[in-house]
A and B are shown apart, each in its own frame.
Chain A
């Protein structure tokens, strides 16, 4: 357990550094530019008056990216240790868990509350959005768990094709939720620009999870070789 947590935090720190750099070099300038566009396009952005300077925002945001990576990495390590026996397909396990994490933490909240392009205004206050966000993370976790459980169950008895089909059902249900959900944002940049920014956000989060999984797997294999190579998996948790 502690070994896994350590691997997770290390993987999260490395992935977080890369993500922080990405925030610094790509996200901050893009956000700055889009906000500039929004404030010159007539409707002023929601942050016409910043209480802190742009440099501070960029630095703290980059640091936030690093901490975000560490937080996700730590959660990843613990969850991996606890749920490893339930995850399908040997060496693919870290990637399955990373996909589940991405689905729960990012994709599921985005179905109702899509990423806001700079300059957009939320329609509802944060007192409504915060509980909604947390609730959707829980929903995402349930969707991911159902999907994985359905796959392992069905592929064991009915074959892999049926397993994949059953695994897709909860994901389709989540997709339907995004279609029927009412809009929560208004205004902002053009539709094309807004879509591009959302893809940027989506790919960067997916990349962060993917990087965590790749690095975690490397560290985990090293721990495996160095330490307890005994067949009992529980022996690993004893140090």
Chain B
């Protein structure tokens, strides 16, 4: 495990310096798209096909 010399703020600062905004936005968009499809997509075909998963994961929006 790593040492405890840095703080959460340091980690955010380092991440902000190393990763450019476009990359971060792309990653965020991908995650949002995947999350939306799995959890909230109400389109009947996708909705019904994911039906068991949503029940099993306790996701309410099924």
Interface size on A, residues (CB 8 A): 62
Known contacts A27-B55, A50-B48, A61-B51: does B42 contact A126 (CB below 8 Å)?
yes
Q: Which of B14, B35, B59 has the most CB of A within 10 A?
A: B59
Q: How far is the CA of A29 from the CA of B47 in the complex (A)?
A: 18
* Chain A interface SS verdict (over half): helix
Shortest CB distance B4–A (Å)? 6
Interface size on B, residues (CB 8 A): 39
Binding site for A on B (CB under 8 A): 1-8, 10-12, 14-15, 18-19, 31, 34-35, 38-40, 42, 44-45, 48-62
Q: Please, which residues of chain A bring their CB within 8 A of the CB of B55?
A: 27, 31, 115-116, 118, 201
Contact A129 B6 (CB under 8 A): no
Q: How far is the CA of A183 from the CA of B57 in the complex (A)?
A: 19
Q: How far is the CA of A122 from the CA of B54 in the complex (A)?
A: 14
| Contact with B62, one of A90, A106, A116 (Cβ below 8 angstroms) | A116
Contact B60 A106 (CB under 8 A): no
Q: Please, which residues of chain A bring their CB within 8 A of the CB of B8?
A: 82-86
Contact B56 A71 (CB under 8 A): no
For A35-68 the 0/1 string (1 means CB < 8 A from B) is: 0000000000001001110001110111011011
Q: How far is the CA of A64 from the CA of B35 in the complex (A)?
A: 10
* Chain B interface SS verdict (over half): helix
Q: How far is the CA of A51 from the CA of B43 in the complex (A)?
A: 11
Q: How far is the CA of A75 from the CA of B27 in the complex (A)?
A: 11
Q: Which 8 A-B pairs have the closest CB atoms?
A: A27-B56, A115-B58, A61-B53, A60-B49, A233-B2, A61-B52, A64-B53, A113-B60
| Contact with B1, one of A28, A58, A64, A224 (Cβ below 8 angstroms) | A224
Binding site for B on A (CB under 8 A): 1, 22-23, 26-28, 31-32, 47, 50-52, 56-58, 60-62, 64-65, 67-68, 71, 74-75, 81-86, 90-91, 93, 106, 109-110, 113-116, 118, 122, 126, 129-130, 133, 184, 198, 200-202, 204-205, 224, 231-234, 236-238
